[in-house]
Structure formats: structure tokens, C-alpha cells
Amino acid sequence: MKILYHPEREEIHLSNVLYALSDPIRLLIISEICNGEERTCGDIEVPVVKSTLSHHARTLREAGIVNVRVQGTQRFLSLRTEDLEFRFPGLLSSVLKAYESSDEKKKLLHPE
């Protein structure tokens, strides 16, 4: 089984985190898993095909935003809230609060 790369806490860089959070689909993924529970990729409702979702999950993982746990053929995503809060206090909560108060999520899930 291939071992997935997750940066150590001290290897999480602000530029990588901001880049990963700059995409609307990745913001949607983060907002869907922000409650602290692990979610499988298949459980997250996003308007993209499976391969594109995998690409976004990899970008988030390599930036240090999510932890991906493999169990059989499923990949479970969870936020690395503690690590992100340690490195960049308040960043994730501020980004999520701004995202939730915008209409971006609604536009992605219900395009007109």
C-alpha cells in the first residue's frame, strides 16, 4: 500500500495553506468536514467527478490542511484543526466563517 505524505506540523507553510484554500471546491470540502468528524470522499457532496475530488483532496493533504486515512478502497478525510491552529491561530476559523457567510457555497451546489 502506498504511504500518503502528510507534512509534519512544523512543515506546514502559510503559502501552501492559502493556495489550497484559494479554490472554491477545496473550500467546499473543508466546510463539509469542519465539524470534526471524519468523512469519506464519497460522502462529500461536490459538483466534480471522482478524479477531480481526489486531486483536491491531495492538494489539501499536501498543504497540511487535512489528514487522509485509507481503509480498503475508501479515503477518510479529517481536518488538522489542532495543527493549523498551532501554526496559524484563527486562520482556519476566519476563512470558514467568511466562506459560510458568502454565497459561494450556494452557487457551487445549486448553479443557476
- Residue-wise pLDDT tens digits, 73-105: 899 999 999 999 999 999 999 999 999 888 777
- The answer to whether position 4 is within a domain reads no
CATH number at residue 84: 1.10.10.10
- The answer to whether position 107 is within a domain reads no
Grid coordinates in use for 56?
483536491
- The answer to whether position 39 is within a domain reads yes
Grid coordinates in use for 67?
489528514
- Residue-wise pLDDT tens digits, 42-74: 898 888 999 999 999 999 999 999 999 999 889
Continuous segment of H or E residues that includes residue 28: helix 24-33
Residues 22, 5: Cα–Cα separation, whole Å:
21
Q: Is the pLDDT of residue 36 over 70?
A: yes
Q: Residue 61: which domain range?
A: 13-102
| Whole-structure pTM value | 0.91
Q: What are phi and psi of 68, to 5 degrees?
A: -115, 125
Write the DSSP assignment of 32-98 as a string of letters: HHTTS--EEGGGS--SS-HHHHHHHHHHHHHHTSEEEEEETTEEEEEE-HHHHHHHSTTHHHHHHHH
Taking alpha carbons only, the member of 53, 64, 45, 51 closest to residue 110 is: 45
